[in-house]
Structure 1
Amino acid sequence: MGRALLDWFPEIMTSSAPEPVPPLVHFFCGLLTLADWIGSDRRAFPFESTFRRDYWETARTRAADRVAAIGLAGGSLRLCGAPGWALISDHPSPRPAQQAVGSVPATERLVLLEAETGSGKTEAALWRFATLLAAEEVDALYFAVPTRAAARQLHRRVNTALKRMFDAAPEAVLAVPGQLLAGEAAGRRLPGFEVLWDDTASRPARWAAEHAARYLAAQVAVGTVDQVALGGLRVKYAHLRGSALSRALLVIDEVHASDAYMTEVQLAMVRSHLALGGHAMLMSATLGAAARRRWLSEASADLAADTARPYPAVWTSRGPQAVAPDRDSGKAVHVEAHRGWTGDEAARLALEAADRGARVLVIRNTVIRAQETFAACHAARPDLLLAVEGQPTLHHSRFAAEDRALLDIAVEDAIGKDSPIGGRIVIGTQTLEQSLDLCADLLIADLCPMDVLLQRIGRLHRHRRPRPPGFEAARAIVLCPPDGLDPLTRTAENGLGAYANGPSLSGVYVDVPGLAATLAEIEARPVWKIPAMNRALVEAATHPEALDRIAAAQGWQPYRQRVTGKALAEMGAAGLVLLDRTAPLPRSFPDDERIRTRLGEDGVILTLPEGTRGAFGTPITRLALPAHWSRGLTGEEEVQIDPGPPIRVTVSDRVMVYGPAGLMQELGEQHGA
């Protein structure tokens, strides 16, 4: 064996190893792991029972064939035409934000696109990918979004786009653990780590979809930001993920949606990716200057200077490039604060508008408040509600993934671009804020941070189309606590404010000064011109200078300090678990079980008995429980199902019901997100 190695690798005798600088060592570690995974695949490398001195030539041939077959060979992706706009879309010309991105030279490694919701950022990212691919700067694409639901929605769009861009289109891998999907083919896991695909095609590149650690080795993948974050943490397969990603354009959409911990982890991964010569594109409709500064390493500026920055804009190493106004996307939104936010009150407002023919979108901050609103509407006019398989329902996170897919389709049918005119009500939570192409006549939404509110408003009058009488102008009703915001600095309600968790704070939207700034803008400016006012609105409600001023005026400085301290603590927590690729390899990694891509408790995932049918009669396999329902559970417990309806789910000493309103505790709950 030793003599054979000298024959196979004669360089051993004459060459010296390169200097083991840390970035190279980290990269090689990941590359070696990737090679080991490929070489361990018996489909490509059948077992050899006896040693052959000439096996090296056999192995090299098999390796070259396998690398090409699974899409890891350089230059294996070939566009079906020049990387112009016509390759991306059948629209006659790109919109201004898209044109601005299309004009960025391929030599720019980091691009940040700030543009309003509905401006075509997804197509802009695909155009950037085509440009870099044609310039031989990248060989792959990973498109990261905040949530699994958003990933599922985007996956369908990207897969359709790939068929236009390539003659032999790669299949986009859905990078969501537990869901085996490559292109339109679904897989089922078999014993022995094998996967059975639901078609007869031989597509070796699906190899990347068959294990979560290999997602970033796909030619094209769409998934959550968590998969990127796992490449930046000191966890198993981090090196594999980072090295596999190095050839790709990394796109992170909605970068404003991450908390301080997630931002630090993603930032470290992006910097490592760029240091290897990779390319990244960040996108947001509502990124504040404080957050943008972290991504672009900008110098700090005061509120006036940051408010004066152009919007929409494309940021590169040369600074911001203003994007020309889009004549087709501007809208004036009439925004009003409404004191009162019970389920009955939200239902009353929605029913009044739907009775007048409006397609009403109701977005609540918590699942429990959404369910209360749904119950009130259902008691009065179930015929006006979103329906799946004839059953009135709503849209939130406490549905099985299979039912969520049905809900996504139903929501777009009810209030999407091509939905018919007629009164109807779609009720949901934050799950309706991103990725779904909605075009409501009226928005009713809970008070929330400004960047989130603008995302919600992006689902209102998104397309030019006929409106019912009285709803020709875009209108948003923002539900506010009847007793003002000061009580929220002591006790959280409906997702606003914080729960004391020892010395720290926890909650959905904890920044009460930011909420007060948002409410002040609503009351001071009854008409918002979108996108012309986006920059001013976001900075007024997120800039540290503005929030310090509000905290001082309201006597909230101690609370503001705790909110700031929470963010600093999250950044510090991230620093403790980041994989520093500029330092030597660590001797050991912390326990993987203690490291997370997101802070906070994890809810358990229940595996349901085979044959379980969901809220709408289709088979479902798993249910995810909220963290505060999961205490004392491991997820390994036996689950008992009474098919109902509604379905009764019993696990340990817990009993829940599952139906068209989603998963609920049988005896009710105190609060939920």
Structure 2
Amino acid sequence: MWGKSAKRAGGRANLLLSHLLDTAAVAELIWDRYLAPSLRRALDGVAGGGEGSGRRLFTWLCGVHDFGKAIPAFQFIDEAGMERVRRAGLPFDLHALRRKRWGHDAAGGVLIRSLLKEAGWDEDQVDWVWPLIAGHHGVFPSLGTASRGMRSVKRLSGEGTAWDQVRRQLLDVFTRAVGFADLAEVQPRTVPSRALQLQVSGFVVMADWISSDKKHFKGIDELDTVSMQTARARALAAWSRLGLRGGWGRLSPPDQHSFVQRFGDPPRGSQTLVLDVVSQMGAPGLVIVEAPMGEGKTKAALLAAEMLAARFAMDGVFVGMPTQATSDPMFSNVRKWLSALDPGLEAQVTLLHGKRMFNKEWRALVEDAGASPDDRFDSVQEDDFGLEDPYRSELAEGHTTAAQERRAPAEWFLGNKRDLLSPFVVGTIDQLLFAATRTKHVMLRMAGLAGKVVILDEVHAVDVYMSQFLAEGLRWLGQAGVPVVLLSATLPSAQRRELQAAYLAGAQSREEADVSAVPVPNGYPSVTAVWNSPEGIAHAVEDCPAWKTPVAVQIEVLPEAPPAKGDEDLAQTPPRDRDVVAVLRKRLADGGCALVIRNTVDRAQQTYLALHKEFGDDVRLLHGRLTVADRADRTEECLRLLGSPAQKGTTRPRRLILVATQIAEQSFDIDADVLISDLAPIDLLLQRMGRVHRHAGVVRPDALREPWVIVTGFGPRDSAAPWILPESVGIYGRYLLLRTAALVTAAAGTAWSIPDKVPELVAAVYESEQKSVPEAWAEAEAEAFAEWTTTQRARAEAAEPFLLARRGEHERTTLAGLHRGGSQETLDEEHHRAMVRDGETSIEVVLVRQDRRGYRTLSGRSLVITGEASTEVLDDLLGSTVRLPAKLTRAAEEELRPLPEWREHPWLRYSRALIFTEDQQSASLGNVHLTYDKDLGLVVR
């Protein structure tokens, strides 16, 4: 029987037994050279035979995945292969086979059930093993769904004929080849957790995909040359050529000198506190670090990851950031940290987000290693003739550098759905949220998180919709024993409890967990750790003084009235911007640096124009509708001019005004003397305030020696609730804005002690039982609260259909039927992002100019793109990428296409071109006109 046709196995068919043994041999290398010690220990416990006993079980589970190919319904697919089987004496009912199909994944799961029971396996052991086989194409069916083909046409399996005998022999020969005496000896001793099953399933797919690559596993069609010894030699050669490797191996716990060795500075009190709390943990658990902006939470988390890895045998790390923009600098920081830990690890960090090809450091890393720049290599189909969904090999020809020569993550890891399998990963938090969705091949994502320490930064930015996926992810990680470190400026107590309860419910394999006994931190900064112990939920909650001396931040309100007709015209300066100009004219009379944060791009563009008229080249603009190149250049310039005086190496400008949107809200290390901000919920407003007087040693004008924060975007009214900018209400909801406005209004003319007052302020807004608004606002607040709770409930319910497990299913013990109700396998990253962030899909386009001579880049380079593009033109095009507003997504999908010349280029063939004509200098899309202004960015009219 054949397992890979000649077409799919390098010109010669690969026998089924050969492919099973190839996969088993790859699995042995995954165990020996890739799996974290914690995973090996867990599988040893499942096998029940002592240390190392899990290796044979793991090898058998991976290798037996294609057992279902031993049926007429599969062997019939390839005519040459079928003829060999027929000559060997096995019958085919061609009439039935031409009318019906039965996927070999489902068939394998169903057929092996009876053989395992026949061998004496317990029912509960059979129940968790068969879905691993039935689900190895990425979707776990229920038993009823998997059996449907067999019930309707039993002739598809050859039941009652010599096929049964052959399958028994195949399974017996394979089982003995991997080291078991018989099938009965394979039976595990315990049932693994559902999370461990899901992770093992991911490694089954990993082993299958590696052994399915025809470049490394060419066909063997003579049975007498098939052996486990041969398979091991093939697997070892492939592993070496692919350059696959695990993480850091066994780590020693960091000591008192480690912080200085890693980061060059002694630890602050809060950073020491993190390590002290982590050292108390009796098992992998959830650590929540709450500390002010600029306190050094990230460095503490990275060293905590070392300690957690050393104590609980983890072999890598995933760092999840709120955005692509914040992922890029974190990528650099993690590489530096790992280099200080072990110089060989620095090059093994994978950057994971949809636009990593725009990151110069990432591109240099993979290109220096000889990797293909294309993340969409030729696909390799798992099943001949495309009867099943294609897998992507993503191995470019000619780039199979040996592990010891490659100074970059193994290229195999860089492919679609595989990036998380890399031992060290920095990406957006979306990658974890994706792992909590009922999507095809979700097991690969969970396998990628297995054996890692997970760090998630800025978790306060996760809204109620995203938090459903975060909670679901924490459930699975808790059950899998994956340590998680969450970082936040501060969290509402309800959100903190929800995160703890989700992780601990997973750790206890229960639907709910009672965390009422876990105390709320008394001080700030604080560290809260929870974990499951034999006695129940254990915890450690401690706090300490902040590193910085508390600062009195002066609060003012700049009232804003509802806009009048014509206020949105970019050619006019509306009253609100004239007020901003007046404030900054006075505040910056003797110089100084100001940050103005607007809640929408349109407002930011208009404010920039007003300020530019007054202050000229002292004004900068930064928002999400800039091209990739412009945004990167402006971000770099802002960090250089307004960054830490200890690092930037340049003189702070006498006067500078940065107008920005929310992208300046978090993980943006700039220092302003004064902030003008649109009203936002208190936790986000505090994040924005973290950009004011952020660094020590900055020389400031006398009038700005104290930090000033001026809040606008709303208009206080004496006898009624204030007017609030409708666009802000659309983004954040009226309830939280109303309560925040009450705090800001009450504080106007006084100061907030920051960071001391941060927890109190957050509680005042988010703890609904606290009375925070004036009596005259009470009715408006009640209406806003009712609307907010309805919206929150609806958004939470909207996430449920996409969650990996439905409500009430978390106590199930197997993966059978996990994907029941839809697998969403066709979603690309942008649609995945929209799914987990409850947003409309937004599309990125490449801006191109067209004149009489043809197409040109924005900078004027002639655009002649074939499969081979010059580096200059390619960089120009990639740098001209810009994200459209979500309201234009449908029009872009309908009207925009790649240029014909891009079809053969690996990066550009998926890129939609937005063409600006020479006569118009603009483009029409849907019912709007678009222009790109060198100062304003993309302007939508």
Q: Say yes or no: TM over 0.5.
A: yes
Counterpart selection for 1:398 from 625, 646, 654: 625
Structure 2 gap ranges (5+): 1-16, 18-169, 368-372, 379-393, 502-512, 531-537, 562-575, 646-650, 849-854, 862-871, 898-912
- CA displacement at 1:178 relative to structure 2: 3.6
- CA shift in 2, pair 1:94/1:74, >3 Å: closer
Q: 1:434 to 1:61 in 2, by over 3 A?
A: farther
Q: Please tell me whether the aligned partners of residues 363 and 370 of structure 1 are also in contact (alpha carbons under 8 angstroms).
A: yes
Pairing partner for 2:693 from 450, 456, 461: 461
What amino acid sits opposite 1:97 in the alignment? S
1:159-170, aligned counterparts within 5 Å? 159-170=335-346
Q: Take 1:446 and 1:432, find their aligned partners in 2: how far apart are those partners?
A: 13
Moved more, 415-424 or 654-663: 654-663
Structure 2 SS opposite 1:476:
strand
- Which amino acid in structure 2 is aligned with residue 56 of structure 1? M
SS of equivalent residue, structure 2 residue 301:
helix
Q: Of 574, 586, 609, which residue of structure 2 is paired with 1:375?
A: 609
C-alpha distance in 2, partners of 1:439/1:646? Answer: 40
- Offset, 1:24: 4.3
Deviation, 1:221, is 1.2
Query: What is residue 265 of structure 1 aligned with on the other side?
Result: 469
Deviations along 1:592-646, whole A, 9 cap, x unmatched? 2486111121122224569634799971433221111223331772334338799
Secondary structure in 2 matching 1:113: strand
Contact 1:314 1:322 in 2 (8 A): yes
Alignment gaps of 5+ in structure 1: 387-393, 498-506, 669-673
Q: Who is 2:267 aligned against?
A: 94
- Aligned partner of 1:603: which letter? S
- Distance of aligned partners of 1:370 and 1:355 in 2 relative to their CA distance in 1, 3 Å threshold: same
CA offsets, 1:439-465, max 9 Å, x none?
Answer: 111111111110001100111111112
Out of 707, 712, 715, the residue aligned to residue 479 of structure 1 is: 712
Report if aligned partners of 1:605, 1:635 keep a CA contact under 8 Å in 2.
Answer: no
Is 1:365–1:494's contact at 8 Å kept on the other side of the alignment? no
Offset, 1:246: 1.4
Instruction: Tell me the distance in 2 between the aligned counterparts of 1:611 and 1:56.
Output: 58
- For 2:634, give the aligned amino acid: L
Map of 2:938 onto structure 1: 664
Distance 1:113 1:611 in 2: 50
From the superposition, tell whether residues 266 and 70 of structure 1 become closer, same or farther in structure 2 (CA, over 3 Å).
Answer: farther
Q: Deviations over 1:199-219 (max 9, x none)?
A: 997346243662342222122
Q: How does 1:309-328 map to 2 (within 5 A)?
A: 309-317=522-530, 318-319=538-539, 321-328=541-548
Cα distance, 1:286 vs structure 2: 2.4
- How many residues are aligned here? 643
Mapped to 1, the partners of 2:792 and 2:935 lie a distance apart of 34
Shift of 1:527: 1.0
Distance 1:277 1:64 in 2: 30
Structure 2 partner of 1:563: 788
Distance change in 2, residues 1:452/1:203 (3 Å): same
Distance 1:523 1:487, change over 3 A: closer
Give the structure with the larger helix fraction. 2
- Can you list the C-alpha shifts for 1:630-673, whole angstroms capped at 9, x where unaligned? 2333177233433879964455775411233454345x2xxxxx
Residue from 333, 336, 340 that aligns with 2:556: 336
Tell me how far 1:363 sits from its aligned partner.
Answer: 0.8
Q: Which moved more, 1:583-592 or 1:248-257?
A: 583-592
- What residue in structure 1 maps to residue 123 of structure 2? none
Correspondence for 1:504:
none
- Counterpart in the other structure of 2:323: 147
Alignment partner, residue 742 of structure 2: 520
- Percent identity over the alignment is 25
- Give, in whole Å, the separation in 1 of the partners of 2:400 and 2:742: 56
The one-letter amino acid paired with 2:339 is K
Question: Are 1:85 and 2:259 an aligned pair?
Answer: yes
- The letter of the residue matching 2:441 is Y
Give the counterpart letter for 2:267 in structure 1.
P
2:727 is paired with a residue of what secondary structure?
A: coil
What is residue 427 of structure 1 aligned with on the other side?
659
> 1:483 Cα shift?
5.6
- Given that residues 649 and 658 in structure 1 are in contact (C-alpha distance below 8 angstroms), is that contact kept between their aligned partners in structure 2? no
Q: 1:483 to 1:167 in 2, by over 3 A?
A: closer
Q: Show the counterpart of 1:177.
A: 354
- Indicate conservation of the 8 Å contact 1:88/1:161, yes or no: yes
CA distance in 2, matches of 1:8, 1:299: 48
1:39 and 1:411, CA in 2 relative to 1: closer, same or farther beyond 3 A? farther
CA shift for structure 1 position 280: 0.3
Paired with 1:72 and 1:146, the residues of 2 have a C-alpha distance of 28
The alignment partner of 1:521 has SS state of: helix
- 1:395 Cα deviation after fit: 0.8
Query: What CA distance in whole angstroms lies between the structure 2 residues aligned with 1:440 and 1:215?
Result: 37
Query: Match of 1:524, as an amino acid?
Result: A
Indicate yes or no: 2:659 matched with 1:411: no
Matching residue within 848, 852, 857 for 1:612: 857
- Structure 2 residue aligned with 1:503: none
Q: CA deviation at 1:138?
A: 1.2
CA contact (8 A) 2:559 2:714 kept: yes
Local SS of the residue matching 2:704? coil
1:630 aligns with 2:861: no
**Partners of 1:198 and 1:371 in 2: CA distance:** 46
The one-letter amino acid of 1:623's match is V
- Which one scores higher on RCO, CA 8 angstroms, separation ≥ 6? 1
Q: Residues 94 and 24 from structure 1, CA distance in 2 versus in 1: closer, same or farther, beyond 3 angstroms?
A: closer
Aligned 8 A contact 2:251 2:306 in 1: no
| Residues 615 and 30 of structure 1: CA distance in aligned 2, closer, same or farther (over 3 Å) | farther
Which sits farther off after the overlay, 621-630 or 365-374?
A: 621-630
Please give the residue correspondences for 1:537-616 in structure 2 after superposition, counting only pairs within 5 Å: 537-546=761-770, 553-580=778-805, 582-583=811-812, 584-586=815-817, 588-590=820-822, 592=824, 593=827, 596-608=835-847, 612-613=857-858
Closer, same or farther in 2 for the Cα pair 1:296/1:508, shift >3 Å? same
* Match among 725, 743, 746 for residue 493 of structure 1: 725
Amino acid of the residue matched to residue 198 of structure 2? H
CA contact (8 A) 1:26 1:585 kept: no
Tell me which residue corresponds to 2:593: 359
Encode CA deviations 1:378-412: one digit per residue, 9 max, x unaligned: 222222113xxxxxxx1111123333222221111
1:238 match: 442
Q: Indicate which of 185, 204, 213 corresponds to 1:15.
A: 185
CA contact (8 A) 1:363 1:430 kept: yes
Secondary structure, aligned partner of 2:737: helix
Tell me how far apart the structure 2 counterparts of residues 120 and 163 of structure 1 sit (CA, whole Å): 19
Question: Structure 2 counterpart of 1:160, which letter?
Answer: K
Query: Shift of residue 174 of structure 1?
Result: 1.4
In the alignment, what sits opposite 1:57?
229
1:231–1:241 contact (8 Å) kept in structure 2: yes
Q: TM-score, normalised by structure 2?
A: 0.63
- Distance in 1 between the 2:218 and 2:728 partners? 60
Determine which structure has more spread, i.e. the larger CA radius of gyration. 2
